[in-house]
């Protein structure tokens, strides 16, 4: 191959210096005297073949190259974009302007490639979440709140899966007060219930979320159950 290139280079040089038949000079002199001043610089990178496609941006503001997912600015949700894929890059264009550029990953990734600048503010906050920080906050509220937070962090395969529930619990504390949140968590655990945001929210919405009084009244009215033994009839006799 090198020998072929060397031979072509020699013949090209010979051709460029071969005299014109109907005018002075040759291709070499014509380039420097007439054409060079009109030439533009060559591109910094060589031409690279690309595959183009179109896609509609979904609510997760991600597009796919067939193997991995990449983010685009969230305000493009619902819009149709053009995707240009090369061996090393993923480019996304909207109305002719480039909206996103990513290094294309060769191996399949578990998580999408997301740039913080593409995320709405609420999602950017998620990046700052930290399991230790949630536990520190919960322990400052109370022992029961800490138990609930630890449950959320450990209930998924990864701690990050519980961040949404931990964040929701913290918002409940901001809204209703940390003292009430601790009492709600304590009651939830005392009833042997599986911690959930929905249950905590229901407890906190009640004017008296401590359901103990209600549970005791129900227990009192039904403490004899369906079976009426001797003790039941003995009590009935006493009431008469």
Tell me the DSSP string of 15-69: HHTSBPSSSSSBHHHHIIIIIGGGPPPPPSS-----EEEEEE--TT-EEE-SS-E
Which is it for the CA torsion 15, 20, 26, 27, positive or negative? negative
Per the DSSP assignment, residues forming a β-bridge with 56 are 80
Q: Is 188 inside any structural domain?
A: yes
Q: Is 41 inside any structural domain?
A: no
Per-chain mean pLDDT for the chain: 84
Q: Is 235 inside any structural domain?
A: no
Q: What are phi and psi of 169, to 5 degrees?
A: -65, -40
Query: How many domains does the structure of the chain reveal?
Result: 3
Which pLDDT belongs to residue 193? 85
Q: Where are the beta strands (DSSP E) in the chain?
A: 51-56, 62-64, 69-71, 80-85, 89-94, 97-103
Which pLDDT belongs to residue 145? 95
Q: Of the candidates 87, 60, 80, 81, which has an alpha carbon nearest to the alpha carbon of residue 71?
A: 60
Q: Are 111 and 159 found together in one domain?
A: no
Q: Find the mean pLDDT for residues 7-19.
A: 92
Q: Are 183 and 154 found together in one domain?
A: yes
Residue 111 has pLDDT above 70, yes or no: yes
Q: Are 162 and 185 found together in one domain?
A: yes
pTM exceeding the 0.85 threshold for the entire prediction: no
Distances (CA, A) of 23 to 19, 29, 115, 226, 236: 8, 12, 60, 119, 132
Domain of 76, in residue numbers: 51-118
Condensed to tens digits (0 to 9), the pLDDT of residues 78-99 reads 999 999 999 999 999 999 999 9
Number of H helices, E strands in the chain: 10, 6
Q: Are 135 and 205 found together in one domain?
A: yes
At residue 169 the predicted structure's pLDDT band, cuts being 50, 70 and 90, is very high
Q: Are 141 and 205 found together in one domain?
A: yes
Q: CB of 187 within 8 A of CB of 210?
A: yes
Tell me the DSSP string of 112-124: -B--GGGS-HHHH
At residue 157 the predicted structure's pLDDT band, cuts being 50, 70 and 90, is low
Per the DSSP assignment, residues forming a β-bridge with 92 are 83, 100
Q: Are 110 and 88 found together in one domain?
A: yes
């Amino acid at each position: 191959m090198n020998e072929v290139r060397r031979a072509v280079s020699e013949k090209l040089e010979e051709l460029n210096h071969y005299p014109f038949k109907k005018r002075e000079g040759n291709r070499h002199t014509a380039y420097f005297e007439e054409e060079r001043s009109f030439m533009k610089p060559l591109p910094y990178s060589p031409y690279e073949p690309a595959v183009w496609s179109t896609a509609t941006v979904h609510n997760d503001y991600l597009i796919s190259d067939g193997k991995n997912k990449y983010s685009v600015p969230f305000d493009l949700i619902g819009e149709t974009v053009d995707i240009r894929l090369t061996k090393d890059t993923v480019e996304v264009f909207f109305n002719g302007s480039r909206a996103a550029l990513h290094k294309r990953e060769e191996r399949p990734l578990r998580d999408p490639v997301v740039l913080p600048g593409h995320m709405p503010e609420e999602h950017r906050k998620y990046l700052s979440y930290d399991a230790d920080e949630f536990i520190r906050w919960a322990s400052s509220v109370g022992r029961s709140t800490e138990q609930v937070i630890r449950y959320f962090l450990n209930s998924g395969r990864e701690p990050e899966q519980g961040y949404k529930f931990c964040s929701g619990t913290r918002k409940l504390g901001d809204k209703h007060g940390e003292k009430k949140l601790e009492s709600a968590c304590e009651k939830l655990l005392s009833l042997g219930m599986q911690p959930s945001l929905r249950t905590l929210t229901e407890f906190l919405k009640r004017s008296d979320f401590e359901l103990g009084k209600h549970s005791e009244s129900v227990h009192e009215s039904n403490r004899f159950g369906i079976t009426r033994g001797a003790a039941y009839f003995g009590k009935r006799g006493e009431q008469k």
